[in-house]
Amino acid sequence: MESGGYFVFYDGVCGLCHRSTKFILPRDKKGQFRFAPLQSELCKEVFARHGRPHNLDGFALVTDFGGAGERIDDKTEGALRILEGLGRGWWLLAKIGRVLPQSLCNVVYRLVADNRYKIMGKADACILPAPEHRQRFVALDYGTGREVA
pLDDT at residue 145 above 60?
no
User: What's the pTM?
Assistant: 0.83
Report the C-alpha gap between 5 and 94 in whole angstroms.
Answer: 19
Sign of CA dihedral 18, 20, 24, 27: positive
pLDDT tens sequence across 81-130: 999 999 888 999 999 989 999 888 888 888 888 888 788 887 776 777 88
pLDDT at residue 73 above 60?
yes
pLDDT at residue 33 above 60?
yes
Q: Are 82 and 75 in contact (CB under 8 A)?
A: no
Q: Are 7 and 61 in contact (CB under 8 A)?
A: yes
Report the C-alpha gap between 135 and 112 in whole angstroms.
Answer: 29
**Which residues face 9 on adjacent strands?**
36, 60
Q: For the residues of 95-111, what is the DSSP string, one character each?
A: HHHHHS-HHHHHHHHHH
All residues at 6 or more sequence positions from 4 whose CB lies less than 8 Å from its CB, including other chains = 64, 65, 66, 67
pLDDT band at 140 (very low <50, low <70, confident <90, very high): low
pLDDT number for residue 46: 93
pLDDT tens sequence across 39-63: 888 999 999 999 998 877 778 999 9
pLDDT number for residue 144: 53
pLDDT at residue 1 above 70?
no
140: Cα separation from own chain's centroid:
16
pLDDT number for residue 26: 92
For 63, phi and psi rounded to 5 degrees? -100, 145
pLDDT band at 15 (very low <50, low <70, confident <90, very high): confident
Report the C-alpha gap between 55 and 97 in whole angstroms.
Answer: 24
